[in-house]
Structure 1
Amino acid sequence: MSEQNLPIISFAIGGYRSFGNKVQRFGKLSRINLFIGQNNSGKSNVLRFLHDVYPSWVNGNNSFNLGPLEAHLPTRATFIASSNSISLCKDTQGNFTEFVREISPKIPQDKYHQRWLSLLLNVFLKKSELEGTGEKLWFDFNVNRALITSNWSEAFQVIDDYNFLHLWEALTGQRNGSRNQHWFPETLAYLTPSLAPINVKMIPAIRQVGKQGSASEEFSGEGIIERLAKLQHPNVHNQSDKEKFEKINKFLRNVIDNDTASIDIPHDRDTILVHISGRTLPLESLGTGIHEVIILASAATILENSVICMEEPELHLNPILQKKLVRYLLEATDNQYFITTHSAALMDTPTAEIYHIKLEAGQSITEHATSDKLRSEVCEDLGYHPSDLLQSNCVIWVEGPSDRVYINHWLNFVSQKFVEGIHYSIMFYGGRLASHLSADDEDNSIGDFISLRRLNRRGVIVIDSDKKEKGARINDTKKRLRDEFDSGPGYAWITEGREIENYLKSEVIKEAISKIHPKANINSTFGQYENTLSIKTAAGKDAQALKIGVAKYIVENYGADLSQLDLKKQIQNLVAFIAESNPKISV
């Protein structure tokens, strides 16, 4: 399952349990979606909505209705739900690319195509403005799956009668009609996306391997022995199920760091056996954490192309096990996950979308934690401290996201045995601290950072030298940080060129800049101490190419090249440091 082919791309809730008359919108989803907040904030109600209500509602079940306990009390706010939204964001060139991709196929490909697109874009922007939904356009429905048209009616007022008539004729192939009876309702019906059926399963917080012969439609652990037995010994028509069973075995080996481990279902089907280093043990003898994580991984493997709601997977799992589980879910399964959690470790999942749920004035309110600041606030709300967050075996400190992209790319080229978030973490020191690394003055931010670094001394810091010529010296701030990290057990990596981008070949970075900024001219001649990202815009202004955009383009289109300056030596040193910090891993 790819990020572009998700069963649920967005949804909204109003008038359901703790969600009141202020509709809460979950506008950006991925394969892993986390709902984090204090107890009784409404996290579990999101999963209840997705598991108990959403499938029946979307699938058009005629018997669908809300029970008395599912209404929002005391207001009994009107139930509103949505499964569709359209992005109204502009791309880097100022175009509404996502809007065009969604709407263009629905409009006749005639000579007036662009005209119809422009008219509808104005309508969509107006509705978004009326509802205060920012860069998203939503189709909201009531409990009977009827589209709520109130704001749509006002939004369509931006089109005059002449243009509206011709738009309606182009869409429907009809003629004449009237605005309120025909043009508006029929155009809106034509544009409204259909609600696709989905399969949703729940893995509850209380999990335990069921007894012999147990069966269940749910995935709490009841019936798991029977399910695994069918994977291990499938009938003639399902031989491919053995591959799923082997995936679970591979995951077990990774979890306990033992290549001899495998699970087995005995003839009596009364337990799950684990063969390890010449011994055979029942699964429960390996400890609650291993027992728990195998239940979760097995359920996620048995299910295919499904939406899985998972309650608090971190129970009984240390941070490393939590991260290994999430990595398995992403790489070895093809489901979309909605997870309630109190875990800061899960928040580190690079591609996860995180929503912070709070209870305010008797209603659940959600906030999309899109920035480091918001994620920090989420951690504070949960009562976490920096010491809870730095649990990796070693930390690589970098200035920003583009540095992380390059370093992971280079590390993976040299050794694929190390996994970010498990064997090492990459953390950012940008902002105010970064500004002082390029200046001669120093303030409390340097001391604060050094204090934070002491919470996990196994760290490497990557610092741009900012040298403008050969023989130039680094400033006193960088010297202080270099001395602090070189005191061990980590060290400082100061770039041999001006900055990390000087490790890239000139032809590679030229192509990346031309793809990200096709109308800009490149200023740099790509010397060792030059600003390689310096560009001149089409308006003739000096500017910087988008660092993260350039970085992503390069790693997606080019293999790693360690031939520039001292890069090969630095990456080899970094691999050796990570290996030293993870003694169980052989390089």
Structure 2
Amino acid sequence: MAEKLYYWAENLENYSSDIDEETPFSIEIKKLNFFIGKNNSGKSRFIRNLFSAPKHTIQDFSFPDLTNHFSDLKSAVEKYKGSTIYIGSASSGDSYYTLLKFINGVLDFPLFPRSKYKENYLNNIKKISDSKIDYTNILEVKTNEIKNFVNNYETKIKFESSKFYIPILRGMRPVTDDENKQPYIERAKKDYFPEKKSTTEKPEKPKFGSHNIVTGECLYYELKVHLLGEPEQRDLIKSYEEKLSQYFFDNEHVSLIPKHDQDVVNIKIGSEKQFPISQLGDGLQQAIILTYEAFIKNVDENGNKQVHAFFIEEPELNMHAGMVRQLMNFYLNETNHYYFFTTHSNHLLDMVDESDEVIIQKFVKQPIDADRKEFDFKIYRCDRDHELLSSLGVRPSSLYLANCTIWVEGVTDRMYLSKLMQKYIQVLGSSSDSKDKKNAERYKSFMPNFHYAFIEYAGGNITHWSFLDDYPTKEEALEFLQNSKGLTAKAITKNILLLADGDNEGKAERLLEWRDELKENVYTLPCKEIENTLTASIIYKACLIKFMGIKKASAQITLSSDTQNKLTQKGFARDKDKFDIEKLNASINFISAEGIGKIIDDTIRIDNSVTSPPRLFSDASGTIDDKVSFCEICKVLMTYEDWDLTEPAKSVCEKIFNHITTCNT
């Protein structure tokens, strides 16, 4: 879906965004929205305004921009100048200009606020629908196209029906013995959302309270209501406990118990004895607070899907970096909602590369005048801005926190392997073998940057690394660094699995050395490189898209609408006259010691008899040329299309997951 979503709120004086000059009062949003910046940069006040704004919702700002559609309609109508045009049942000499006025009514209307734009669209489209050009149904066809586009757009996007705010002040343990008191909620109301006293005798329902401010204080009572309620309510808690187990407790069975004669939730993990939640680590308590309401609110009492907006302060509070990542995976995979976070965690930044549903906005506080008494708050979209690290106070030095590492040759290897690993889990999960299903559940719980991490060794640079356990002495250190193998891998990371391309088999001395140092933790691909392990159908579709462009390719092969939309945005297209792409098919065997670029070129080249045959998809070594671009196409195809794992892909995934399992047992 190419259309973007936007959001803003009332009472945001001195705030503006950098979307474009015409729309400074809106921000682009996605499912997970991270707001970062230095302390006192305006992040928290911003999300509180979004939460407390009584009028505006995402719908008000996210109606689609119809400029292109109405421009096409205008061009079509202008071709029929002089024809008889009816508006309703009447026609006149001015009907042509009246009809253009209706069309221009949408084209000339400002896009923001989109609630007014939508209202203007509805008014004008009705008038256009009542019009007709003699001898043609052009208006009906074009108008229906626009209506269908709008209907499909609004059907695809489910907007929030309620808003919830989770402040920093939160916890599952009561802080007062007074019944029916929630001090954290009361404090949040008093500090952030004070309500005016009612001027009528009949008290108004409070706008803010336990129904929309989530602090964990009410969790004991809510669990009690559900577990003592209808079967559907008990089943919902059971489903939630299963997800807690999967994401945060290494698949150990988890039970949450509002124990009688206590005021605190008890928990039972696996075969351990039941104990009060206060004995559980603060990070896991935070995970429960942050996931319970979101999961429970996925459906209403009738089982209908629900979408809400959650505004969360510092989700990383008391959590290990890997657990924060797992929390975000929970939100992405198990809930329907939109989330808005203030955060100082640098461990969430690279989620932008892993999901199209993540966006990062940076807040900057700027003085308006020299006296520095008044300030503006600027919001910048900055997904891959290295200044983000400075904004979060992160220095270049870093720690490797993962329990094991997988060393791969480059960035595309990491991207392909991530997709292959996801597919491998799906294959195991759909198996009839109970052992495979159990492994799938375990593998699904493994968190990047916690249970494992990828390290890219950049091809030939691997020769500079030593994988021995021995460290040079203080006296030997300087001389060691000056040697060809001057870097000790195990000084920065333990539990290494080294994945090597198949073309290393021709470098026996290097392989022998690696195997001597890392023993069974060296895995050599049975083919030239990771691209050779991809299924032929993905390579075939990627080649057509790269050669023809997405429009021509989608006319020849069936692609999902999500694939087409995503690749259209990326603008992939290529045309070459010395190659015939029709010679390519989806049954070619790419599992070979030759690179897939050479295999493809040799297949589609029109004349292979020339002395220096031209190359299109390959570089001089035979590997795929422009690896990153080709990988981008394959990633989209592997996300939205149906495909199968090859046997070499299964083998490398099995090796990786065995390594991760061993290092996390």
Change (3 A) 1:465 1:112: farther
Match of 2:56 in 1: 57
The reply on whether 1:329 has 2:331 as its aligned counterpart is: yes
Change (3 A) 1:310 1:83: same
The correspondence for 1:456, drawn from 486, 493, 496, is 493
Letter paired with 1:293: A
* RMSD (Å) for aligned C-alpha atoms: 5.2
The answer to whether the 8 A contact 1:213-1:226 is kept is no
The reply on whether 1:547 has 2:631 as its aligned counterpart is: yes
Letter paired with 2:166: I
Change (3 A) 1:85 1:12: farther
Change (3 A) 1:493 1:367: farther
Letter paired with 1:429: E
Return the TM-score normalized by structure 1. Answer: 0.65
Q: Structure 2: give runs of 5+ residues left out of the alignment.
A: 81-99, 134-148, 183-209, 299-306, 368-374, 429-438, 464-480, 553-574, 607-613, 618-624
Task: Tell me the secondary structure at the aligned position of residue 542 of structure 1.
Answer: coil
The reply on whether 1:384 has 2:448 as its aligned counterpart is: no
Match of 1:421 in 2: 448
The reply on whether 1:10 has 2:6 as its aligned counterpart is: yes
Change (3 A) 1:207 1:512: same
The reply on whether 1:274 has 2:267 as its aligned counterpart is: yes
The correspondence for 1:357, drawn from 363, 369, 377, is 363
Give the drift of 1:233.
1.9
Mean CA deviation greater in 260-269 or 299-308: 260-269
Residues in 2 aligned to 1:234 and 1:458: alpha-carbon distance in whole angstroms:
48
Residues in 2 aligned to 1:46 and 1:582: alpha-carbon distance in whole angstroms:
40
The answer to whether the 8 A contact 1:233-1:242 is kept is yes
The correspondence for 1:400, drawn from 411, 424, 441, is 411
The answer to whether the 8 A contact 1:460-1:485 is kept is no
The reply on whether 1:204 has 2:167 as its aligned counterpart is: yes
Letter paired with 1:273: N
The reply on whether 1:39 has 2:59 as its aligned counterpart is: no
Match of 2:294 in 1: 300
Give the drift of 1:316.
1.2
The reply on whether 1:19 has 2:8 as its aligned counterpart is: no
The correspondence for 2:240, drawn from 228, 248, 263, is 248
Residues in 2 aligned to 1:453 and 1:27: alpha-carbon distance in whole angstroms:
44
Letter paired with 2:55: S
Give the drift of 1:219.
0.7
Change (3 A) 1:387 1:208: same
Return the TM-score normalized by structure 2. Answer: 0.58
Change (3 A) 1:246 1:403: same
Residues in 1 aligned to 2:605 and 2:363: alpha-carbon distance in whole angstroms:
42
The answer to whether the 8 A contact 2:321-2:450 is kept is no
The correspondence for 2:663, drawn from 560, 563, 581, is 581
Give the drift of 1:312.
0.6
Task: Tell me the secondary structure at the aligned position of residue 44 of structure 1.
Answer: helix
> Cα deviations across residues 564-585 of structure 1 (Å, max 9, x unaligned)?
4xx55433332221112111xx
Q: How does 1:47-126 map to 2 (within 5 A)?
A: 47-53=47-53, 55-58=54-57, 83-84=61-62, 103=69
The answer to whether the 8 A contact 2:312-2:340 is kept is yes
Change (3 A) 1:395 1:46: farther
Paired residue total: 475
Give the drift of 1:507.
5.0
Task: Tell me the secondary structure at the aligned position of residue 279 of structure 1.
Answer: coil
> Cα deviations across residues 232-263 of structure 1 (Å, max 9, x unaligned)?
2224xxx3222331133224434244734311
Mean CA deviation greater in 219-228 or 401-410: 401-410
Change (3 A) 1:334 1:269: farther
Residues in 2 aligned to 1:13 and 1:208: alpha-carbon distance in whole angstroms:
29
Give the drift of 1:171.
6.1
The reply on whether 1:285 has 2:267 as its aligned counterpart is: no
Letter paired with 1:45: R
Give the drift of 1:56.
1.8
The answer to whether the 8 A contact 2:164-2:311 is kept is yes
The answer to whether the 8 A contact 2:363-2:380 is kept is yes
Residues in 1 aligned to 2:79 and 2:513: alpha-carbon distance in whole angstroms:
61
Letter paired with 1:9: L
The correspondence for 2:112, drawn from 140, 143, 146, is 140
> Cα deviations across residues 94-143 of structure 1 (Å, max 9, x unaligned)?
xxxx987xx58x9879976999xxx99x999x99xxxxxxxxx982239x
Residues in 2 aligned to 1:231 and 1:107: alpha-carbon distance in whole angstroms:
54
Match of 2:349 in 1: 347
Residues in 2 aligned to 1:513 and 1:528: alpha-carbon distance in whole angstroms:
18
The answer to whether the 8 A contact 1:400-1:428 is kept is no
Residues in 2 aligned to 1:334 and 1:21: alpha-carbon distance in whole angstroms:
26
Letter paired with 2:528: R
Letter paired with 1:139: L
> Cα deviations across residues 58-99 of structure 1 (Å, max 9, x unaligned)?
499xxxxxxxxxxxxxxxxxxxxx723758xxxxxxxxxx98
> Cα deviations across residues 447-499 of structure 1 (Å, max 9, x unaligned)?
999578843233334454568xxx7549x9xx59x967973499554444232
Residues in 2 aligned to 1:386 and 1:366: alpha-carbon distance in whole angstroms:
25
Match of 1:229 in 2: 224
Q: Structure 1: give runs of 5+ residues left out of the alignment.
A: 61-81, 88-97, 128-136, 153-165, 176-190, 439-443
Residues in 2 aligned to 1:514 and 1:114: alpha-carbon distance in whole angstroms:
37
Q: How does 1:517-532 map to 2 (within 5 A)?
A: 517-518=547-548, 521-522=580-581, 526=590, 528-532=592-596
Match of 2:312 in 1: 310
> Cα deviations across residues 4-40 of structure 1 (Å, max 9, x unaligned)?
699x922257972551597657665332221122211
Residues in 1 aligned to 2:488 and 2:377: alpha-carbon distance in whole angstroms:
37
Residues in 1 aligned to 2:256 and 2:325: alpha-carbon distance in whole angstroms:
21
Task: Tell me the secondary structure at the aligned position of residue 290 of structure 2.
Answer: helix
The answer to whether the 8 A contact 1:457-1:489 is kept is no
Give the drift of 1:425.
4.3
Give the drift of 1:44.
1.2
The answer to whether the 8 A contact 2:295-2:335 is kept is yes
The reply on whether 1:368 has 2:381 as its aligned counterpart is: yes
Change (3 A) 1:114 1:5: same
Residues in 2 aligned to 1:318 and 1:26: alpha-carbon distance in whole angstroms:
33
The answer to whether the 8 A contact 1:31-1:335 is kept is yes
Letter paired with 2:320: N
Task: Tell me the secondary structure at the aligned position of residue 647 of structure 2.
Answer: coil
The reply on whether 1:500 has 2:530 as its aligned counterpart is: yes
Task: Tell me the secondary structure at the aligned position of residue 297 of structure 1.
Answer: helix
Give the drift of 1:311.
0.7
Task: Tell me the secondary structure at the aligned position of residue 345 of structure 1.
Answer: helix
Give the drift of 1:537.
11
> Cα deviations across residues 433-455 of structure 1 (Å, max 9, x unaligned)?
469789xxxxx9x9999578843
Give the drift of 1:330.
2.5
Task: Tell me the secondary structure at the aligned position of residue 349 of structure 2.
Answer: helix
The answer to whether the 8 A contact 1:513-1:550 is kept is no
The answer to whether the 8 A contact 2:411-2:456 is kept is yes
Mean CA deviation greater in 351-360 or 253-262: 253-262
- Paired-residue identity, %: 18
Residues in 2 aligned to 1:515 and 1:17: alpha-carbon distance in whole angstroms:
47
Residues in 1 aligned to 2:159 and 2:635: alpha-carbon distance in whole angstroms:
36
